[in-house]
Amino acid sequence: MVVTHRVLLDVDTGIDDALAIMFAVAHPEIELLGITCVAGNTSLENVVANTLKVLDVAEAPSIPVAAGSRRPLIEPARASHVHGGDGLGDVGLPVSAREVDPRHASDFLRDTLLAQDEPVTIVALAPQTNLALLLRQYPEVVPKIERILFMGGSASGGNATAVAEFNVWHDPEAAAIVIDSGVPTFMYGLDVFNQVTIDERDADELLLGPSASGRLAGALLHHQMADDAEGEPNPDGYAGHIGDAGAVCALVDPEALHVERRPVRVELAGASRGQTVVDRRQRVGEDAVHGAHAAPDRTPTGAAGGTAGALAGPLPVDVALDVDRLRYARLFLDTIALLP
């Protein structure tokens, strides 16, 4: 295989972000140009430390890692309770000697994007605060972004609230800025996120195997997510979700997904704050008939005549709605097996 995807990862490492980072490092079709970190699953300090530790285990080359936002644009930081005390399942990895890029994530992204001859894909596995700041501060980067593939949102129910998925709920204003920016976006949300799991026997083989990366992946797959705010483990035991790693699988094997191009709006107020409203209607609705819906201005942020945030209606997003879960499970296992 040859490199076909030049990628920047934005993460809040987290158990499933760690699995995604290892997958991205290992897959031969991916060139990982850098990783930016944001508060989300855990504090920014933990996210950076966890990212460096995972790169060490995977024996990754010198991939730049930059720290970004400590909190959402408006809300305080609200770490998830499900990833353990350090955000990485408390597996006890040693501290890394890798150095962190001194630039803020948004500056690192700007510099890296503008230095490229061809547009780059951003894979966002976290609250999109860093990306919103990038697009607001440096709209000149838009032509350098091929698309933003983000893990977030849902066309059905939520997990942070009854209707909102965690990454979007954590910073809904940032998600709205990214979706409304005019940059092509792909949503790998809870509809597919929750489907892809690794059989417990396969996770056992990783955990007991000779590969350090495999043992880490096995330990993370076996981590029992906390079932309540006090950190009590899930009584159902083993779950084995690859989570965010599925979004990176979507990059290299999109044919395993059922995708529909649908208008998406992020709710910013009330009980539905953080919900991604995916319009799956087949006919014109009463909102259009009675003037409550207008066609959006599809001029990208920063393009001639375009004004950030001046969109009259929701822009279309490629939304993953179903997945061949066994195919992605096999892809994940085969890719992790390439690591030392």
SS3 319: strand
12 is catalytic: yes
Quick one: residue 153, left, alpha or beta (phi over 0 = left, psi -120 to 50 = alpha)? left
Can you tell me the distance from the alpha carbon of 37 to that of 317, in angstroms, rounded to the nearest whole number?
24
C-beta separation of 211 from 273 below 8 A: no
Residue 253: name the closest of 188, 167, 185 by CA: 188
Phi/psi at 322 (nearest 5 deg)? -155, 160
- For residue 33, what is the enclosing H or E element? strand 30-37
Question: Which of 10, 12, 17, 244 is flagged as catalytic?
Answer: 12
- E strand spans, 160-256: 185-188
SS3 162: coil
C-beta separation of 86 from 42 below 8 A: yes
DSSP one-letter string for 39-79 = SSSS-HHHHHHHHHHHHHHTT-----EEE--SS-SSSPP--
Quick one: residue 243, left, alpha or beta (phi over 0 = left, psi -120 to 50 = alpha)? left
Burial (Cβ within 10 Å: 0-12, 13-18, ≥19) of residue 57: buried
Burial (Cβ within 10 Å: 0-12, 13-18, ≥19) of residue 282: exposed
Q: Which residues are catalytic?
A: 12
